[in-house]
Amino acid sequence: MKPTVCVLGAGRMGSSIARALLSHGYDTRVWNRTAAKCEPLASQGAQIAPSVVDGIQGADVVIINVLDYVASSALLKQGNVLSVLAGKTVVQLTSGSPRLAKEEATWVGSHGASYLDGAIMATPDFIGRPEATLLYSGPREVFETHKDLLTTLGGGTSYVGDVPGQASALDTALLTQMWGGFFGALQGMAVVEAENLSLETFRHQLTAFKPVVDGALCNLIDRTKARRFAGDDATLASLGAHYSAFRHLLEVCEEQSLDASLPNVMDRFFRQALSLEGPEGDFASLAPLFRENLTVAPSLEPANA
Ligand code: NAD
């Protein structure tokens, strides 16, 4: 039998979550700080819970999706809510840090409820679609018990580990890569327009270049995993070749009076890696600069071979 679900928070994401559950026949109750936001969901079959405690009391699974953990904690840590948490499964889909997720897991567990922490790698319009990825961490058995329900929110539903903060950590890592790409695109657009090219051309060529970049990204991850920082026959482009091309960016920034804050930081990393690994190093030789515990393996060949 399908569990009854309570969704706390009917903002953009919470409403999409509730809609996906309703479309799969889940008995869904919704609560929102401003009740009016629940009304469109009521017309699709949701029951509006008059209070958080009422919503939780009638549900097997409580999905939380509010702005942040401060708001989420304030909802759960009300005296009357504490008394109805035991035996429930709390699925936290509010964005938070790994530390907050671990603290919340401990707190919820101490009140007799099961806890899963999730990270949504999708916008509300993707919820319920096969392409939507949602990451979960916490006790595997809790994930397995509710896998059918969780999969209704996205076909790419994945369990990533038993430490509650691991989904949030992966979320942060994936978003970091996204922001890196976005910042790079902003810098690239400045170059494109300064050199009288259209953004449409940039967009088109960026899309065409994407498979090459995606392949190089995976290669970077694989080499870092294997600690293969020295250049070798499988190196796609040496650090020296990367740096030579990168210097064109510094030159354009100077010539066109573009902001060079970001390229200057990248330049510092390039120079540091070059001083450690030499121009024949692999691009992956930059990886140890981002953490202390990853030592640079000695080069297999002299830097100027
Ligand atoms: P939203 O602004 O549309 O909704 C925020 C919700 O939080 C509303 O229901 C609001 O009533 C509630 N809220 C805010 N402060 C509250 C408080 N003090 N007490 C009770 N409720 C409170 O935001 P959203 O886009 O739906 O995002 C919700 C969560 O989902 C966030 O943690 C966000 O990071 C995460 N998320 C959003 C997206 C997205 O694309 N929108 C993607 C991934 C994750």
Kindly give the confidence (pLDDT) of every residue in the chain, 305 residues in length, as a single tens digit, with 9 standing for 90 and above: 899 999 999 999 999 999 999 999 999 999 999 999 999 999 999 999 999 999 999 899 999 999 999 999 999 998 899 999 999 999 999 999 999 999 999 999 999 999 999 999 999 999 999 999 999 999 999 999 999 999 999 999 999 999 999 999 999 999 999 999 999 999 999 999 999 999 999 999 999 999 999 999 999 999 999 999 999 999 999 999 999 999 999 999 999 999 999 999 999 999 999 999 999 999 999 999 998 766 554 443 444 43
Instruction: Please indicate whether residue 17, judged by its CB atom, sits closer than 6 Å to ligand 1.
Output: no
Whether ligand 1 lies within 6 angstroms of the CB of 41 is answered as no
Maximal CA-CA distance, the chain: 73
Ligand 1 binding pocket includes 66 (Cβ within 6 Å): yes
Mutate to test the pocket of ligand 1, among 15, 67, 73, 94 (most ligand atoms within 8 A of CB): 67
Ligand 1 pocket, 120 CB below 6 A?
yes
What the block records as the tokens of 258 is 């573009």
Q: Is the CB of 32 under 6 A from ligand 1?
A: yes
CA of 93 to the centre of ligand 1 (A): 10
**67: CA distance to ligand 1 center in Å?**
3
Best of 16, 32, 66, 123 for a ligand 1 pocket test (most atoms within 8 Å of beta carbon): 66
Taking CA atoms only, the protein residue closest to ligand 1 atom 44 is 120
**CB distance 51 to ligand 1 below 6 Å:** no
Q: How far is the CA of 63 from the centre of ligand 1 (A)?
A: 12
CA of 17 to the centre of ligand 1 (A): 12
What is the CA(92)–ligand 1 centre distance, in A? 12
Choose among 120, 131, 61: nearest CA to 96: 120
User: What's the predicted TM-score (pTM) here?
Assistant: 0.90
